Structure 1
Amino acid sequence: MFKIILFMHGNLAVEFIRASAMVFGEQKETVAYGLDLGCDVDELRNSIKNSILDSTSKGQEVLVLTDLMNGTPFNTMMQLGTECRFSHFTGINFPLFLEVLNRRMSQNMLSAIYGLEEAAKNSVYNCDTFLSEENIP
């Protein structure tokens, strides 16, 4: 099973994991890191780096999910990408996180991340359009 690291602003990563437990139960090898105002970003970066290195030294693949392109979690992971080996997706929303967890149950990491961009495009709906008379049979 590959490891999933969520690195997001505030408590979002913790809450993603907590809410996902209602759908899939407790998830092993899923770790949350949150960026808070005034936190020591270097210390947080080192904790994430150590987590990645610990997993990869055991032969475990790591998938990092961040919330916002060009935000501090994203930028930190881009820097760590020169020092550690992991896959990284950004712009993660809750439906996409659930998709990753679902895929992880039966697929290796390469298969699980294949097509995630397309899945992301299909995770947001305009409900007004969806419920319009044109879409009702």
Structure 2
Amino acid sequence: MFKIILFMHGRLAEEFIRASALVFGEQKEMEAYSLELGCDVDGLRNRIKESILQSESRGQEVLVLTDLMNGTPFNTMMQLQGECGFSHFTGVNFPLLLEVLNRRMSQDMAGAVKGLEDVAKGSIYDCDAFLQQIAL
């Protein structure tokens, strides 16, 4: 089973994990890292790097999910990509996390991440337009 690391602004990562437990139950091999105002970004970077390196030493693959392109979590992970091995997706929403968790139960990481961009894009709906369509 591959590890999932969520690194996001505020407490979003912890809340994503907590909310996902309502759907899939408690999940192993998931970690949350929070970027808070005034936090030690270098300390967070080092903790995440150590976690990834520990997984690498065990032969475990790591998927990192960040919330915002060009935000500090994203930039931090882009810097780390030259220092350790992991896959990285940004712009993560809750449906995408649930899809990853669902796929992780039956697929390796390469299979689990295939087509994730389409999953994220397909999870956003204009509800006003939807209601207009069904009213016709």
TM-score, with structure 1 as normaliser: 0.97
Structure 2 unaligned blocks of 5 or more: none
- Return the letter of the residue paired with 2:61: E
Q: Aligned partners of 2:10, 2:67: CA distance in 1, in Å? A: 11
1:1-137 maps to which residues of 2 (within 5 A)?
Answer: 1-132=1-132, 134-136=133-135
CA distance in 2, matches of 1:85, 1:96: 22
Report Cα offsets for 1:42-99 as digits up to 9, x if no partner.
Answer: 0000000000000011000000000000000000000000001000000000111111
Measured after TM superposition, the shift of residue 135 of structure 1 is 3.5
Q: Secondary structure at the match of 1:111?
A: helix
SS at match of 1:68: coil
CA RMSD of aligned residues (A): 0.9
Matched AA of 1:58: R
SS of structure 1 residue aligned to 2:34: strand
Q: Could you list the runs of 4 or more consecutive aligned residues of structure 1 that deviate by over 6 angstroms after TM superposition?
A: none
Shift of 1:136: 5.0
Identity of aligned residues (%): 75
Separation of aligned partners in 2, 1:5 and 1:21 = 15
Paired with 1:43 and 1:106, the residues of 2 have a C-alpha distance of: 34
1:131 positional shift:
1.4
What CA distance in whole angstroms lies between the structure 2 residues aligned with 1:135 and 1:103?
31
TM norm structure 2: 0.98
Taking the aligned partners of 1:8 and 1:121, their CA distance within structure 2 comes to 19
